[in-house]
A and B are shown apart, each in its own frame.
Chain A
Amino acid sequence: EIVMTQSPATLSVSPGERATLSCRASQSVSNNLAWYQQKPGQAPRLLIYGASTRATDIPATFSGSGSGTEFTLTISSLQSEDFAVYYCQQYIKWPSFGQGTKLEIK
């Protein structure tokens, strides 16, 4: 089983600033890495796949980077609607998720 570890657990950022979320895999997943956003009471939404490709209708303020075992999701110029929980997930094998990073308003 590939274990995904996200950091930090909670990130406090002011609107308009940049947020950087990290995800580490216990073994290489190449670029088979996705990021999801989940808001309260909603299903998760795919943001990024292939480590760096934005999904349909995802704004350019979201960007992903990394390969192998280290990945980053960057959200530039945070808007109020961006405050949510973010999960990374590998899919080189049957999927596994990180524990999530809660992005909250500072």
Chain B
Amino acid sequence: EVQLVESGGGLVQPGRSLRLSCAASGFTFDDYAMHWVRQAPGKGLEWVSGITWNSGSIGYADSVKGRFTISRDNAKNSLYLQMSSLRVEDTALYYCAKDHPSGALGNWGQGTLVTVFS
């Protein structure tokens, strides 16, 4: 069974940094691209960042480009999101998601909450 468990969320002030982690199990991690998707309270889904299986291709939403860095450690079956220069508008539940073979997002974690408050 595929499991994705996010961690690292919390309360942080604007301008500070936070690192999210996603521990993956139940599948061959280095076979799949991975993504971070966020959802602000009461709002819709926003794709944040994605990374291919070998880190050869990385993408970011314009809203986080230059501030967030995605990475993965295939030896540890883990995905990361380094978030810096955090803003109030970055407040959201951050989901880790695994690519489906089609390219859709086939499996999702339960999310980790990031709250940026001034």
A44 pairs with B45, CB closer than 8 A? yes
User: What does the 1/0 interface line of A88-106 toward B look like (CB < 8 Å)?
Assistant: 0101001111111000000
The answer for the CA separation of A1 and B62 in the assembled complex, in Å, is 9
Interface-central residue, A1, A36, A91, by most chain B CB under 10 Å = A91
Contact B104 A89 (CB under 8 A): yes
Q: Assess whether B103 is in contact with A46, with CB atoms less than 8 Å apart.
A: no
Whether A94 contacts B47 by the Cβ 8 Å rule is yes
One of A46, A97, A99 near B100 (C-beta < 8 A): A46
How many interface residues does chain A have, given as a range?
20 to 34
Residues of A with C-beta under 8 A to B103: 32, 49, 91
Q: Which residues of A contact B44 (CB under 8 A)?
A: 85, 87, 97-100
Question: Which residues of the other chain, A, contact B47 by a CB distance below 8 angstroms?
Answer: 89, 94-97
**Which residues does B use to contact A, with CB under 8 Å?**
35, 37, 44-47, 50, 59, 62, 95, 100, 102-111
Supply 7 further A-B pairs (C-beta < 8 A) apart from A43-B95, A55-B100, A94-B47.
A44-B105, A46-B100, A49-B103, A50-B102, A89-B104, A94-B59, A97-B46
List A residues at the B interface (Cβ < 8 Å).
Answer: 1, 32, 34, 36, 38, 43-46, 49-50, 53, 55, 85, 87, 89, 91, 94-100
